[in-house]
Chain A
């Protein structure tokens, strides 16, 4: 909790909600007849409405990207290091829109919402989503906010996939696309991690085939284990070693311990898992990881990402992190190569970092410089 708001904070922000009653046809063929989106905005939309930036969130993200909801908040929004006055996504220059995607669990319509047809929570019956469904729903939000063209669509990880998809679905509505720690598609190893996480959820006795809300329970343990698996893949070996090493929490190496939790890393992972399970919906986790698995930018373009990117009109900024093994620099090289092949404007930086995939969320001098200087250049366009 800050006693005083930092001068480079967007300050106290209040989420807003918009209802959409025009049916949204989804990639799976089903229709979402009615839905709502929760979003936040930071900064001011200029008279030409040319300074709007869309933030696309990753697997566990949501609309609250920057600032505080109240002075009693323990922490600011998830990307506060990069959004604010004087920060890379400078709210003196840009009007920033950050939403919670449909299928999520932070206020936008998702599996834990009530299905109007049954009067019960959607649960496992919520339609399957693809990344493009999020893009289309975001475009509707842009329409309502009066934004024809985004100065930039920005996203890290799964958010980067949405940003890339934007440039293909709405080529004339994106001037710049920033793709951070992302990929054209997941590797088999990546899908394997997601599947293991899903199995942890599904095998929780409280899962009840996804109808746990009707049983007034939550598969908290399974969701916690799912998050533990994810969390391991977000950190680097080095980072974990630095932070926790082989330190014991109790007992000794000679005789061990009777405690349930022995090593510090165990304690940390359990804390992270437990905390996440209190805030996230298990069905949302299943739904969103599937959207990740299925994403493949070039699939419908003859499996050719070059052919796909030829449709794009945007200029691209691509950033990766040296120790990110979940979305390794090689995955970003593939994005850059495809963009070069399609003769698109692209700038690429590979940031030396010890923080693995999580680096895209953390303060880093070079990352801030590359990101900030690129965006400073487009603010004057």
Chain B
């Protein structure tokens, strides 16, 4: 399982009601259902991913996140999750507002664009970074709103969002450096949020 997904489970309570935005092939939903007895729904727009969710017997709903979450009531989920999808949204700040409206708590993960590899790539080659985690060219990437750790911190402050936990994870862990300078050495950011 992707490393950010593995970390997330510690913040999900047994038997809670969850909503997974951009649930992909349902790996996380299925894992949480099997291990934490959660119930809930996944939202996805990719046809093949939806098919795989159906094969797994998950509640998957075809819905574009940029259309908002108008069909979900205030505080109707214990946790609203969104893993590695923030950077693909047209209006990430608005979706974040919606997540905090619908969920009592939220968990967001995204690739940290401030990671040293990205900085090095841009600084030395003068071109947009392409890596294992972000294997796209600038013109065909679904990732249209990159941000760094610090950027996200600023957004949370501006929106008066409470950060319950923050964590960075790397596929190959460079623990000390990562903990000392997360914006430079953290590949993936994981935020556990709630309203103030």
Contacts and interface: CB of A to CB of B under 8 A. Distances in A.
Interface of A: 333, 336-337, 340-341, 343, 345-350, 366, 369-370, 373-374, 377
Contacts of B62: 348-350
Interface in B37-57: 39, 41, 47, 50-51, 53-55, 57
Contacts of B106: none
A340 B47 contact: no
Most central of B50, B62, B71 by chain A CB within 10 Å? B62
A333 B43 CA distance: 13
Interface residues on B, range: 20 to 34
A60 to B, nearest CB: 28
A369 B76 CA distance: 31
Given A346-B59, A346-B61, A333 B51 contact: no
A348 B23 CA distance: 14
A347 to B, nearest CB: 5
A347 B71 contact: no
Given A336-B71, A337-B71, A340-B72, A346 B41 contact: yes
B71 A340 contact: yes
B71 A333 contact: yes
B28 interface: no
A166 to B, nearest CB: 20
B54 A377 contact: yes
A35 B50 CA distance: 44
B51 A370 contact: yes
Interface of B: 17, 39, 41, 47, 50-51, 53-55, 57-63, 71-73, 76
Given A366-B47, A370-B54, A345 B73 contact: no
Contacts of A347: 53-54, 58-61
A369 B55 CA distance: 10
A336 B57 CA distance: 17
Nearest to B64: A350
6 contacts: A340-B71, A341-B73, A343-B39, A347-B61, A348-B61, A377-B57
Contacts of B71: 333, 336-337, 340
A377 B41 CA distance: 17
A99 B50 CA distance: 32
A369 B53 CA distance: 12
A374 B59 contact: no
Instruction: Give the interface SS of chain A, mostly helix, strand, loop or mixed.
Output: helix
Nearest to B53: A347
A329 to B, nearest CB: 9
Of all A-B residue pairs in the complex, the 8 with the closest CB atoms, nearest first, are: A337-B71, A348-B61, A373-B54, A350-B62, A349-B62, A345-B59, A374-B54, A377-B57
B79 to A, nearest CB: 15
A108 to B, nearest CB: 34
A366 B55 CA distance: 14
Nearest to A317: B54
A251 to B, nearest CB: 45
A213 to B, nearest CB: 47
B61 A373 contact: no
A370 B50 contact: yes
Contacts of B76: 341
Contacts of B54: 347, 370, 373-374, 377
A346 B54 CA distance: 10
A369 B52 CA distance: 10
Contacts of A341: 73, 76
Contacts of A346: 41, 59, 61
Contact of A349 (B39, B50, B59): B50
B44 to A, nearest CB: 10
B47 to A, nearest CB: 6
A176 B58 CA distance: 14
A294 to B, nearest CB: 26
Most central of A340, A341, A369, A374 by chain B CB within 10 Å? A340
A350 B63 CA distance: 9
A370 B61 CA distance: 12
A351 B41 CA distance: 19
Contacts of A374: 54
Nearest to A375: B54
A111 to B, nearest CB: 40
Nearest to A378: B57
Given A336-B71, A340-B61, A373-B54, 12 more contacts: A336-B61, A343-B17, A343-B39, A345-B59, A347-B53, A347-B59, A348-B61, A350-B62, A370-B50, A370-B51, A373-B55, A377-B55
Contacts of A349: 47, 50, 62
A340 B51 contact: no
Nearest to B54: A373
A374 B55 CA distance: 7
B49 to A, nearest CB: 11
Contacts of A350: 62
A341 to B, nearest CB: 6
B175 to A, nearest CB: 41
Nearest to A334: B71
